[in-house]
Structure 1
Amino acid sequence: MTAAAQPLPAARRSKRMTPARWGLYAFIFITALYFLLPLYVMVVTSLKPMAEIRQGNLLALPVAPSIDAWVKAWTSACTGLTCQGIKIGFLNSLRIMVPSVVISILVGSLTGYALSLWRVRGGNILFGTMMVVAFIPYQVFIYPLVRVFSFTGLGQSLLTIVIIHTIFGLPTMTLLFRNYFASLPVELFKAARVDGAGFYQIYARIMMPMATPMIVVAVILQTTGIWNDFILGLVFAGRDNLPMTVQLNNIVNSTQGERAYNVDMAATLLTALLPLVVYFGSGRWFVRGIAAGAVKG
């Protein structure tokens, strides 16, 4: 190959703005604007007093920014007959989310480990059944589950909603950990077996310490799904354990007094704050875990 025919190094290639590149940048900009504009409107509205909101300039920055709406949304907004703010729902969501995430990840990782490295009789049938059930809308199961928990005496309670979230999270958690453990070198498993390690020893001392990226992915997925859930919390949590999303719905749809749009926006942002913090705080691990779990199934 002559020197003229050889491809140019990456550093020497032309960096001219071609029509294709312009189109790509335009698409990225429009997409970012599409998703960021509602967030911008929510933030600026939550910082405006109602007198300024009534002027109708939706996109204008607040003339006199104030966090009064945020304080009211957290401490004294009415969520029905009580006016204790959305903080009660925040605490309830934490009480629901933490045990649900921990239990679903523990059970899902243990199941995925067993299905990937141990020859479990009927394991493939069990795994296939779980994957089929995972694609059935969970609304189909609500009435049967209501009847089951009513018959067992659990009814609407914190324990009930934790069990529900654990059950619905198991198929996804099992799939993630099964694929991840199947991508690890099988020689590690065989060496541990030769050294006399048992089922739980290999799981706790070898597999789980190596599964940190996948654990982060599982935490993000479960935290986001459980925290944003509305209908399951409304049906199964009980009146004393209503999650933050139900409290937010009560605030936004309240018909008492003046419609406080700034309080509504502040309450919505407070509700979405924890999943955003979790995701942006562990985004690098999320990408690594997804890539690792997709190596082979």
Structure 2
Amino acid sequence: MPDIDTLPDFNRKKPFNPRRFATRVAVYSILIVVGLFTIMPLAVILLNSLRFNADILRESFIGWPTRITLENWDVAWSSACINASCTGVKPYFIASMLMVVPATLISTAIGLVNGFALTKWKMPFASVVFVAITIGVFLPPQVVLLPWAIALSWLGLSKSLAGLALVHIIQGTCFTTLFCRNYLVNLPDDLIKAARIDGAGFFRTFWKIVVPLSPPIIIVTIIWQFTFIWNEFLFAVTFSSSDFRPITAALMSLNADDTGVSEYGFGSAAVLIAAIPPLLIYFFGGRYFVRGLTQGAVK
């Protein structure tokens, strides 16, 4: 039996190490500087949304508000002029929601089914199918603009909300299949074999076994898809019309007033309104997003 005096004392304070202290100070200083530079644009936009436009033009675009107003938010939401329509960003915000939510849910569901079929159901030529699907992950979006324009014209969905949602569902399926396949490949094969021995078919096995074991990757793909589709600009501009337009495309058409003076106040408020949904979804689901990534989403 070892002598008590020879056992390590975990409560004993470690001696001061100047090199370790300097390294820690340097690391935290760099992180603080990077964090400040990262959050600075958001802080500037937030402050300008609370300032009168005359104050911004007279003083500086970067500065503290000398007078605070919430009128910019009301104007941006309900009466700002976008193209020839002075309805604010409200209808474009609603159009984005109507497009993003179903596109996110459908592409996530398809990706999960694809991931199950490609990993646990041993479908023929699974590796070839997987490569063919994931090619879309690496294609620049400019490459697919013309093919999508032709396809939407054939389907009668040009310049429509349903057409833009279809584009994002198909494009997003490439990402969701990649994520879900890399997650589900780590599930025990014995669970699937046991279900098949009990007589469960493809969809019953998928619903009873795969779905209950997949909340981490489902959350990852939902956050990824929602954020990507909401912030996407190229497809939104190309495949939308003046009758409907996602909010990211509408922001580019915010008009100046009759004198040609840029309205930085309600413009900043409009940008923040557009940023609220992805910020909220990541704020409430961020820890699950990181947890899902570490459990196989991008292995």
Q: Which ranges in structure 2 are unaligned for 5 or more consecutive residues?
A: none
The answer to whether the 8 A contact 2:50-2:68 is kept is yes
Q: Identify the residue that residue 108 of structure 1 maps to in structure 2.
A: 111
Distance 1:11 1:231 in 2: 60
Q: Identify the residue that residue 233 of structure 1 maps to in structure 2.
A: 236
The answer to whether the 8 A contact 1:169-1:222 is kept is yes
Q: Identify the residue that residue 156 of structure 2 maps to in structure 1.
A: 153
Q: Identify the residue that residue 83 of structure 2 maps to in structure 1.
A: 80
Q: Identify the residue that residue 61 of structure 1 maps to in structure 2.
A: 64
Aligned pairs (5 A) from 1:114-133: 114-133=117-136
Q: Percent identity?
A: 34
Distance 1:295 1:156 in 2: 34
AA matched with 2:48: T
State the secondary structure of the residue aligned to 2:194.
helix
Distance 2:124 2:5 in 1: 63
Distance 1:133 1:3 in 2: 64
The answer to whether the 8 A contact 1:183-1:292 is kept is no
Q: Does 1:39 align with 2:62?
A: no
The answer to whether the 8 A contact 2:111-2:174 is kept is yes
Distance 2:31 2:163 in 1: 44
The answer to whether the 8 A contact 2:135-2:174 is kept is no
Distance 2:58 2:3 in 1: 71
Greater CA drift, 49-58 or 205-214 = 49-58
Distance 1:11 1:287 in 2: 35
Aligned in 2, Cα 1:111/1:294: closer, same or farther, shift over 3 Å? closer
Q: State how many pairs are aligned.
A: 295
State the secondary structure of the residue aligned to 2:67.
coil
State the secondary structure of the residue aligned to 1:242.
coil
Deviation of residue 43 (structure 1)? 0.8
Q: Identify the residue that residue 21 of structure 1 maps to in structure 2.
A: 24
Distance 2:185 2:248 in 1: 37
CA RMSD of aligned residues (A): 2.4
Among candidates 193, 196, 199, match of residue 196 of structure 1: 199
State the secondary structure of the residue aligned to 2:58.
coil
The answer to whether the 8 A contact 1:183-1:295 is kept is no
Q: Identify the residue that residue 217 of structure 2 maps to in structure 1.
A: 214
AA matched with 1:168: Q
State the TM-score, normalized to the length of structure 1: 0.92
Deviation of residue 254 (structure 1)? 4.5
AA matched with 1:150: S
CA deviation vs aligned residue, 1:72-113 (integer Å, no higher than 9, x gap):
000100101010000111000011101101110111110111
AA matched with 1:272: A
Distance 1:47 1:130 in 2: 46
Deviation of residue 122 (structure 1)? 1.3
State the TM-score, normalized to the length of structure 2: 0.91
State the secondary structure of the residue aligned to 2:83.
coil
Greater CA drift, 142-151 or 159-168 = 142-151
CA deviation vs aligned residue, 1:111-156 (integer Å, no higher than 9, x gap):
1110010111111011112222310101111012112221333222
Which segments of structure 1 move beyond 3 Å, counting only runs of 4 or more? 1-17, 57-60, 253-257
